Amino acid sequence: MQIADPIIYREIEGRGVGYYALLAMLGALIAAGLGAAYYMESRGHYVTGMNNQIVWGTPHVFAVFLIVAASGALNVASMASVFGRVAYKPLARLSGLLAIALLIGGLAVLVLDLGRPDRLIVAMTHYNFRSIFAWNIFLYTGFMAVVAVYLWMMMERRMNRYTRAVGLAAFVWRLVLTTGTGSIFGFLVAREAYDAAIMAPLFIAMSLAFGQAITILVVMAVCAGTGRALDDGLLVRMKNLLGVLVAAVFYFVLAYHLAKLYATGHHGVERFILLDGGVYTAIFWIGQILIGAVLPLLIFYGPRALRSRFWIAVGAVLVLLGGLAQVYVIIIGGQAYPLSIFPGKEIVASSFFDGVIASYSPSVPELLLGLGGVAIALLIVTLGIKVLRFLPENLDGDAT
C-alpha cells in the first residue's frame, strides 16, 4: 500500500512589500537585459567588447555558467530519490524548479546573444549531427522535459511510486547534458586551451558544485524571507557536500593543467594562463583558485562554519564568484590565446593577428544581458513558489 507523504507543502503568500520589491528589482534587470540585447542587435556587436578573435564574450560566460549550474541544481532531488537520502526529500521539488529556471535563464542569454535570434529556427529545423551544438539542442530541451515529468511524479501523490525511476533518468540525463556542454570545448581542437578530453568530467564537477552553491543560497533566502524554519543539520549536510564538490573541481583543474604541461606542444598556452596572461592569469589565481576553491574549503571545513549560517552563505557566494571566474578564463582566456594556424611553422607576415594575443574588455550591454539571464531564472523561482506547492511548511527536523 502506498504510504502518504508526511511532508506538507504550501505556496508562499507573496503579499509583502519585500516580495513585490524583489519582483520589481528582477523585472528591472530583465528589462535592462532585453534593452541591452536590442541595443547590440540594432547597432551590431561592434558596440561590445567582442571582435573577430573573441566571438564568445561575457554573455556566453553567464549563459554557460547558468546552463552548467542548472544540472547541478538537481543535486538535492537526486540525493532524495536516487540515493535514498530522506533528509533531502523536503527540498526535492524546489531543486527541480531551480534546475529548470537556471536552464531557461542560461538559454535566454544564449539566444539573445546570437545577434540574430530568429536564426534559432534554422538550428531547430536543420540538424548537423556531426556538431555537438546540434546535439545540445536535444539535451537542453530533453532535460527540461525530463525534470518537468520528475516534478509531476513528486507533486502528484498517485504518481509518487514512479519518482525514483524518473529521478534516475533525470540523474543520467543531467550527466549527459553537462558532458555535452563540456564537449563543446573539449572537441575544439583548433583552440589549444580547449582541446582536452578531461573537459567533460571537469564540467560535470563544476555543475555539481555551482548548482549546490546556488541551492544553498536559495534555500537560505527563501526560508529567511518566508519565516520557515531551517534545520541546521540539513544545512550542514548540504555544506559538507558542497565542500566535497569544490575539492573535486579543484582536482580536475589540477589534472587538466598537469596534462597540458606534460605535452610540450601546450607549454605556450599553459604559460599564458598560469604566468604571462595578465588579467587572465590574475583571474585564474585570485578568482578561480583563491576565491573559488581555497577560501571556500577553509570556510567549510573550519570551525566557524560548523553551525554558522553566515559563513556557510559566504562560502557558497565565494564558490559562485570563483565559478564565474573559472568560466571566464575557460571561454575568454581560451580565445585570447592566438590560434596556431600552421603548427610548428613560423609565420613570416600576416594581417590576420596570427600569434597576437587578442584584446577584450567586457562592455556594459554584455554585462546587463548576462545579469538579465540570472534575473529570469530567479523570477521563475520567485513566481513558481508562489503559485505552486514547491516548499514544505518548514524544514525544522532531524536530518537523517
For residues 104-115, average pLDDT: 87
Give burial (CB, 10 Å; 0-12/13-18/19+) of 144. middle
Q: How many helices (H) and strands (E) does the chain have?
A: 15, 2
pLDDT for 59 equals 93
For residues 144-172, average pLDDT: 92
Q: Does residue 97 sit in helix, strand or coil?
A: helix
Give burial (CB, 10 Å; 0-12/13-18/19+) of 319. buried
Break the chain into its structural domains and give their ranges: 10-339+362-392
pLDDT for 137 equals 82
Higher pLDDT residue, 350 or 22?
Answer: 22
260-277 as b/e, with b when 16 or more CB fall inside 10 Å? beeeeebeebbebbeeeb
Q: In which band, very low, low, confident or very high, does the pLDDT at 250 lie, cut at 50, 70 and 90? A: very high
For residues 368-375, average pLDDT: 96
| 395 secondary structure, DSSP code | B
Q: In which band, very low, low, confident or very high, does the pLDDT at 2 lie, cut at 50, 70 and 90? A: very low
Domain 10-339+362-392 belongs in CATH node 3.40.50.300: no
pLDDT for 128 equals 75
Give CA–CA dist 234/228, Å, rounded: 14
pLDDT for 395 equals 76
Per the document, the length of the chain is 400
Q: In which band, very low, low, confident or very high, does the pLDDT at 399 lie, cut at 50, 70 and 90? A: very low
pLDDT for 3 equals 45
pTM of the entire predicted model: 0.92
Give CA–CA dist 33/373, Å, rounded: 7
